[in-house]
Chains A and B, each alone.
Chain A
Amino acid sequence: MDFAPSAEHEAFRKVVREFAEAEVAPHAEEWDRTHRFPLDTVRAMGEMGLFGLPFPEEYGGMGADLLTLCIAIEELARVDSSIAITLEAAVGLGANPIFRFGTEEQKRAWLPDLTAGKALAAFGLTEPDAGSDAGGTRTRAVLDGDEWVLNGTKAFITNSGTEITSLVTVTARTGPDEISTIVVPAGTPGLVIEPAYRKMGWRASDTHEVRLEDCRVPAANLLGERGKGFRQFLEILDEGRIAIAALAVGLTQGCLDECTAYANDRRAFGAPIGSYQGIAFKCADIAVAADAARLLTYRAAWLRDRGERATREAAEAKLFASEAAVTAAREATQVFGGYGFVDETPVSRFYRDAKVLEIGEGTSEIQRIVIARTLGLPV
């Protein structure tokens, strides 16, 4: 059994950590406070090749594996979840469907800018009335001559409204029992990007409701086979869950690093608070949570990188890591006491950022269903 990161993985981790500490951490509080999407930083990440990590070089990618992407997301999330989800969504939900299901022509047209981080793609699956129940999609696409005419509303769509968003891939009903995936380029008349949501966390990430009003795109924008939209979506789900698990691992690690530094530094009753078991044990528990979550996540990524199925392992990693992150952030806030409740300390931001990890990319309840079904239970 060996799913240890290689020397190159570790060298890469160092580079991303250095970038995160130098270019992201000093600004994260301000971006969060002002709900600002940091376009310059995203461009810098593009120059580092982060947006092209798991894609082949012929499309401008880095030819790396899923584990490498996980390491990048983890290191970014260690200081800022918003920038980490921007990368995760751009790669896992934006570029990945194009790469996995696109024709050669579609890939050549859209991927190079996406892998270079010069453009971002969004994926519109969730609807106001269809989240976990993706089969309840109401958005419709009707073929009119050589154009699809789309109507419907998509909710909580990450990276859909940035200055460099180039396209939104949406799922839509193309028949009675048929869901297909269609690429809608940014700027298409009838593609309406609503104002950004006000969110509890992930405030520097770009999230909008997206409406499609008689939105016409060429028939050639169908991604993959007609009617296979739902199955395609299920296919990319495992990797998305592993990437979110990596984000949770990073957040937990961030909590641990903040807590241990503070516990050594902050004094009460004449000694560092880390000398009291009440604080030291919290730090120890967060360390265990980070390691356990990391092992589950790396195992799932390693299986995918070997070309194996990892549905249960991905769900386990996502479930455990996200719940561990929420607990870690709550406990980290407690370690910081009153300072954990004010915006100057990262842990208060981590606390707000953690919650959505139990919701996005499949809620904890959905993960439990997935796992329970692999146990043969009729849930």
Chain B
Amino acid sequence: MKIAVCAKQIPDPATPYSLDPETHFVVRPNDQVLDDTDRYGVEMALQLAEANDAEVVLVSMGPAGNLQGVRQALAMGADKAIVVDDEGLRGSGALVTAKVLAAAIQQEGGVDLVITGTESTDGYTGVVPQQIAALLGLPALSFARKVELDGTTLKVERISATGYDDVECPLPAVVAVTSGAVEPRYPTFKGIMAAKSKPVEQPTAADLGIAADAIGEAGSGQEITSVEDAPSRTAGTKIVDEGEAFQAIVELLEKAKVI
């Protein structure tokens, strides 16, 4: 059995992001970290792999840098990684990302289950898992807070607005797990050392059979025309309570249509 986990390297959220003034793309440093939301996917994959004797393959797209973020996931226990790194991919939108990841998964072959997080912490589109599923022609199970594998049947608790739904489907399938679905493990020192020598393939888009004009900003049919700073907070209104302040609060809430 083979499980593919989509995992992204992002700039360390603890450090300030900067944007390229020309392209408006996020400047990606050499040192990147594993996106925190993807740790849940990796952990889920490892737990399922341990119970079902499966191989775990990481699939990632973006500047490889020094691969520090990918090595984090390998140190947790994943077996190998595919990092699609191609200058032409800069500025790709969600659908192109999904096409690239789906192509990498297809080329790897024999994947029974694709696990993703719900959304990346730098892009926040939240649509890539479903797009991958559609491109691969597989069922998409989203917002999974619990995942079980019963033979070749995948059983999931999908978080809904009011609680959760029990959903199941046959493999192969794509499942997006929520943060908190499992407790991601801390890598051991042995894991960190082993990660050094685990295979990391770095194909280009062309290696995956994707044409140069189908990727990047142009291939995504989108362009970032400008980036504005978020408006800074303006000073609030001060209401001094002389026994009547509640009325002012009620008015404000009514104006905001909260009550």
A binding-site residues for B, Cβ under 8 Å: 8, 11-12, 15, 18-19, 47-49, 53, 57, 62-64, 68
Contacts and interface: CB of A to CB of B under 8 A. Distances in A.
Given A8-B192, A64-B189, 19 more contacts: A8-B189, A8-B193, A8-B196, A11-B68, A11-B71, A11-B75, A12-B192, A15-B75, A15-B186, A15-B187, A15-B192, A19-B186, A48-B188, A49-B189, A57-B190, A62-B188, A62-B190, A64-B193, A68-B189
7 contacts: A8-B189, A11-B71, A15-B75, A15-B186, A18-B186, A49-B190, A64-B193
A358 to B, nearest CB: 30
A57 B190 CA distance: 9
Q: Say whether chain A's binding surface is mostly helix, strand, loop, or mixed.
A: helix
B76 to A, nearest CB: 10
Interface hub of B71, B186, B189, B196 (most chain A Cβ within 10 A): B189
Q: Say whether chain B's binding surface is mostly helix, strand, loop, or mixed.
A: helix
Contacts of A64: 189, 193
B72 interface: yes
A49 B188 contact: yes
A68 B192 CA distance: 12
The 9 A-B pairs of least Cβ separation, nearest first, read A49-B188, A62-B189, A64-B189, A48-B186, A62-B190, A11-B192, A8-B192, A12-B189, A15-B186
A47 B192 contact: no
Contacts of A63: 190, 193
Contacts of B187: 11, 15
A137 B188 CA distance: 39
A64 B72 CA distance: 18
A191 B53 CA distance: 46
A53 B71 CA distance: 20
A112 to B, nearest CB: 15
B24 interface: no
Contacts of B188: 48-49, 62
Interface hub of B68, B71, B192 (most chain A Cβ within 10 A): B192
B12 to A, nearest CB: 10
Interface in B71-114: 71-72, 75
Interface hub of B68, B72, B193, B196 (most chain A Cβ within 10 A): B193
Nearest to A54: B189
Contacts of B68: 11
Nearest to B185: A47
A173 B128 CA distance: 71
Interface in B221-246: none
A327 B12 CA distance: 33
Nearest to B193: A8
B30 to A, nearest CB: 12
Interface in B188-202: 188-190, 192-193, 196
Contacts of B75: 11, 15
A11 B190 contact: no
